[in-house]
Amino acid sequence: MSLTENQKLVLEYIQAYLEDVGIAPTQREIKEHFNLKSYGSVSRYIKNLRDGGFLNVNWNERRGIKVHHTSNTLKEIPFYGEVAAGSPLLLNEVPQETIPIPAAMAAGPFEYFALMIKGDSMIEDGILDGDTVIIKKQNTAIIGQTVVCILENETTLKKYFPTKSHVDLVPANSKMAPIRVKKDFQIAGILVGLLRNY
C-alpha cells in the first residue's frame, strides 16, 4: 500500500509516541497533535493504516493501537558502503548492493539504508569499526540523536547538537573533539539499528 504524506506523518507520530511513552496515543491526542477538525478524520487515518497492514487496532480500547511488526521476515535495503565514525568519508550516491535486515528494523512506510562503520569515534555508544548501521532516511533530527551527516559531499556518523549559530557533531569517544559546522551541512538520516558479525 502506498501512503500519502499525511498518513506517513500520522504513522510516524504513533510509532514515536509508543517508543517514548510506552503506550499508544489516544484519538484525542492524535487529533490535537495534527490540529484535525474531527474525530472522524482521526478514525479514517487509523483505518487506512490498519487496512494497509501498518497498524493493529482494537477499537474497544482507549489506547488500542499497535504498530504491526513482522520480525520473522527479512527486507532488502540499499547498502552505500562505509561511513566514518572518525573523519568524514565520501558517501557513494548510487548503492552498489543491498543487504537483508530483519523487517522489524525497517518498519513502516519509510526509506532505510545501511552503512558500514569505519573508525572508532562512536565506541562509547557501542558502535564499533566494522559494524553495519541501519539508517532511517530523513533530513531532520532532534537534539542528541545519532545521525548520518553530509559535510561537503562527505559523510560521518555523530550525535546531533544544534544551536542558533552552529551545529556540533559530537563523537561518542572522550578522546575526540566535536566537529562544529555552520553551513554546507545536511542530515541524511538517523540511526535506528545495528548489525554486527562476531
38 to 44, 46, 65: CA distances (angstroms): 10, 13, 19
User: Quick one: residue 152, left, alpha or beta (phi over 0 = left, psi -120 to 50 = alpha)?
Assistant: left
| Nearest C-alpha neighbor of 176 from the set 81, 87, 43, 61 | 87
Q: Across the chain, how many H-helices and E-strands are there?
A: 3, 12
From 121, 159, 174, 182, active-site residue: 121
Catalytic annotation present for 165? no
Please state, in angstroms and rounded to a whole number, the distance separating the CA atoms of residues 121 and 129: 9
- Cell numbers of 23, please? 503506550
Q: Is 118 a catalytic residue?
A: no
Which of 158, 165, 174, 175 is catalytic? The answer is 158
CA angle, 129 as apex, 185 and 109 as ends, to 5°?
55
Active site residues: 121, 158
